[in-house]
Amino acid sequence: MYDGTDHEDASAAAATSNATGPAAVAYPQFADRHIGPDAGAQRSMLAALGVESLRALTDVAVPAVIQDRSLELPAALDETAVLAALRALGRNNRPVPSMIGLGFHPAVLPGVIQRNVLENPAWYTAYTPYQPEISQGRLEALLNFQTVITDLTGLAVAGASLLDEPTAAAEAMQIALRTAKGSRATFLIDADTLPQTIAVVATRAEALGVTVHVADLSRGLAAGGPAAPDAGVPAEVLDSTFGLLLSYPGPGGALRDPRSVIAEARERGIVVTVAADPLALTLLRSPGELGADIAVGSTQRFGLPLSFGGPHAGYLAVRKGLERSLPGRLVGVSVDADGAPAYRLTLQTREQHIRREKATSNICTAQVLPAVLASMYAVYHGPQGLAGIALRIHGLAVRLAEGLRAGGVPTGADAFFDTVVAAVPGRAAEVVAKALAHGVNVRLVDGDHVGVSCNETTVEADLRAVWAAFGVPAAASAEVMVPAVPAAPIAPSALPRELVRTDSYLEHPVFHEHRSETAMLRYLRRLSDLDLALDRGMIPLGSCTMKLNATTEMAAVTWPEFADIHPFAPLDQAGGYLTMIRDLEDWLARITGYAGVSVQPNAGSQGELAGLLAIRAYHRDNAVPGAPVRDVCLIPSSAHGTNAASAAMAGMRVVVVACDDDGNVDLDDLALRARANADVLAALMVTYPSTHGVYEEGIGQACAIVHEAGGLVYVDGANLNALVGLAKPGQFGADVSHLNLHKTFCIPHGGGGPGVGPVAVGEKLLPYLPNHPLRAEAGPASGVGPISGSPWGSAGILMIPWAYIRMMGADGLRQATSVAVLNANYIAHRLRPHFPVLYAGRDGLVAHECILDLRPLTKRTGVTVDDVAKRLIDYGFHAPTMSFPVAGTLMVEPTESEDLAEIDRFCDAMIAIRAEADKVGDGTWPRTDNPLRNAPHTAQMVTADEWPHPYARSVAAYPVAALRAAKYWPPVRRIDGAYGDRNLVCTCPPVESFAARSEDGPVLVAAG
């Protein structure tokens, strides 16, 4: 608890005391490990700014009216103690072999992939690959992922992952809504679909004015007929239907031929989505072959641990013609400056950071790291291995059913893949309890039915336990026993012949050349060497907070006591998780000053949606009868595009508020627009500190203006790293925020996910937090519905922020914020003589990031933001954020984790680049041929026999002497983005295409 002492500078004081003798250190060792500049460096930086202390710096930078340094959190622990505390939490979890299914199945992640990807900072500390020249490794891995999905689904184009299967289904609904002709507004879902998928789709649909109709389609699409009077869909519903979602197979286990339903739907102009298990698709005809327009699903079975619900990579694939409607990331093949193939994110004009409220989706963070794991699982096993795993699972399910039938237990469907639903009238709860007593979790379908799903880890003992729970005599099951690990795959015997897959898939060499662990290890190393992540150097991306992801924080992610818990297992098996989640939600509420928090949203974009849906529901429940609907969301022109996209998804109309010349929200314009929309105003959505990198003085007044007009205030928590321990949004006027645990609270970005975006709300919005259809404990019954398919979202990575907060404590968190502000102001101070700092607050100070204005330089020299960004690669840096929130600028955020030496190295690089640009400006180097325009420089380029450029090879490769000792070499030259958009290739290209167009050998290690 804050006691009034100036703890922000306590570390420096302790260091000074220690210089003359032993003294009590004010912080546990971890805070000093996490924060880059030591006490001496902090004093030097403060002196450069002319400020006496961190407290004095933040007192000036942060408006006094919002400052709140009180923060009551548990006392900080050291790293050893936190690991012990995590072990104690883990002991309160009880992993039990789970045959529950419902979209989650135990899987085996090969050790070579776990150690060299999941536990490797070269993979997990990378950022979203917006700078493709330094991201070729993970882009190749994502292209492999897309190839897996397109091959297995039989569709033309797949994205580079979505947040989970239910979210993908909701996105598919929106594609169908945009694609279908006419004014139809009903989305039809087959009843045999995951309940969490139905619920997430319904949450999204309600805000968009779409009606979700769930029906039994086992007998066909149209209703009626004496054989199935309750099945099918009434004609009037079909006439208003624009989209259909089928499952293949569904959670009920039955494997039905969907072709007639799909054909009839398409004849009616209905866009058809099929939710398919990709492991089952190694044996079954693809959705594309069946006639589907879209396929969605989860790749969790491709080696990803259960982790109490996530993170797991969802997928979405579409037929040709729908690719420009895809949500999220899409990796494509383009060419670099030498004409050699290279990977990049393609068709970015679909995305929220460009199209704002007109984007295909609000999704920003995806599930890149889980998608990479899934793709590597496919690379390692190959098509034969995947089919073998699927055949073994199916064979076990067949033997399970045979044993039950032999014991007199009816099992329903004759055709199934991995799930058997058995009828036990009136005894279902008893059977489930007996199965648990025998050491296996099975699923309570209803009072009369029990579901059992086989998986990659299922063994003979599990089948025996299930049979015993059902009361099957040992003699009846003895004849159908199988070895725990069959010597050869079991031939399918419960797959309908007409649905058995006959075409080939995963024929690219990458899926055939890495069978040995040695080959796989070297492939993974080769790809990681192509990329620049935090393990190599600072990533100074503004508004991204690329801080340390400490090893201790990451340690528990792969521990079996956390990794092996099914999200729908009995809650007494997840006591450690529940305690951790309660702790984290409580701590986050204290940090932000709100009344309550839900960790369910599994990305910042989903936290935004949850918060806006809560606002929408509040206004609906408190509306005066006959009053107009409050559906206007005021958003500053400087806001991130996700804000506008989220508002549109929440059914709101976006009204843009102007910013003044200093980058602040124009309070006069805000008041004008609030008054003009007073009867329909729902919310103001504003980022604080602003996207201009400044603590705006008028935030309290802005909140008051909106409240007076009847609206609520949403403060985007993207920049919370500048507030923790210094101010609380819930106390200076905001009603709701989302937080980015993958920014402020140390979950690694993973190359573009996973993330966690908890939503934090004030008292009046508590009834509207997300909930879940299968877990009453996950949220209020009055909530807006689920945002994620899992009750607590990506629960399997929540131990990272839990450990961070537990090791930092209140004082450590406050000091981290203060040093983040110090680092940003030091960079602004050093670079201001060379690049104008576009916006600043009181006394010329910025918040935790600063915007460098390159427009005057560009006008004078022709050197662009892109040139500077690519030249920074030659210096060993990832570029800052480009042209956001102002075109022609770079936004720099160093975070608290970078030490003074690295910050100075970055500043020196920027100053050197300015000098290079001056040489272009004064005519020393031509505008069309100089180190900036030709950047980045590859090893192949600088070692070529010919060198026609007017600057030395050493200038290209080693612009500063330190690079001679440690140099990152980009694998490709500057990539042609327009070419990749015009010539869309989103699967693994032929290996031959990577042959160099010269005699110097390959320019890029190709897939495989």
Ordered by start, the domain boundaries in the chain are 1-94+538-837, 118-331+360-380, 854-972
Question: What's phi and psi for 489, nearest 5 deg?
Answer: -55, 145
Helix axes 39-49, 10-18, angle to 10 degrees: 120
CA 214 – CA 191 distance, rounded (Å): 6
Structure confidence at residue 348 (pLDDT): 74
> Which helix H or strand E contains 289, and what residues bound it?
helix 287-290
Burial 849-876, CB ≥16 within 10 A → b, else e: bbbbbbeebbeebbbbbbbbbbbbbbbb
Q: What are phi and psi of 886, to 5 degrees?
A: -125, 130
CA distance linking residue 303 with residue 374, whole number of Å: 6
Query: Any idea of the CA torsion for 23, 24, 26, 31, to the nearest 10 degrees?
Result: 90
CB of 689 within 8 A of CB of 723?
yes
- Tell which CATH classification among 3.40.720.10, 1.10.287.130, 3.40.640.10, 2.60.40.420 matches the domain 1-94+538-837: 3.40.640.10
Strand order in the sheet with 419-423: 419-423, 449-453, 443-446
CA distances 181 to 175, 240, 280, Å, are 12, 11, 33
| Cβ atoms 291, 301 nearer than 8 A | no
Given this model, what pLDDT does residue 987 score? 72
Residue 478 has a pLDDT of 67
Q: Which helix (H) or strand (E) holds 573?
A: none
Separation of first and last alpha carbons in the chain: 55
* Tokens matching residue 840: 């600043």
Amino acid (1-letter code) at residue 939: A
Cα 627 to Cα 819: distance, rounded to the nearest angstrom: 49
Q: What are phi and psi of 878, to 5 degrees?
A: -75, 140
Low-confidence ranges of the chain (pLDDT < 50): 1-6, 11-27, 226-227, 350-354, 483-489, 996-1008
> How far apart, in whole angstroms, are the C-alpha atoms of residue 774 and residue 226?
34
**Rounded CA gap, 871 and 134, in Å?**
12
Of the candidates 51, 435, 339, 361, the one whose C-alpha atom is nearest the C-alpha of residue 980 is 339
- CATH number for the domain whose boundaries are 118-331+360-380: 3.40.640.10
What integer pLDDT is reported at residue 29 of this predicted model? 87
Residues 12/31, Cβ–Cβ less than 8 Å: no
243 Cβ contact list (under 8 Å, min separation 6)? 172, 173, 176, 177, 180, 187, 188, 270, 271, 272, 273
**What's the CA angle centered on 859, arms 858 and 864, to 5 degrees?**
20
**Structure-token pair, residue 984:** 């869309």
Question: DSSP assignment, residue 624?
Answer: P
SS3 170: helix
Rounded CA gap, 802 and 809, in Å? 11
> What contacts 915, CB < 8 A, 6 or more positions away?
none
Angle formed by the axes of helices 165-179 and 195-208, nearest 10°: 40
Tokens of 917: 């640009």
Strands 294-298 and 314-318, by their bridges, are antiparallel
CA nearest neighbour of 148 among 508, 389, 506: 506
Region class of 132: left (phi > 0), else alpha (psi between -120 and 50), else beta:
alpha
Predicted TM-score (pTM) of the model is 0.94
Q: Do domains 1-94+538-837 and 854-972 have the same CATH topology?
A: no
Report pLDDT for 224. 60
CATH of domain 854-972: 3.90.1150
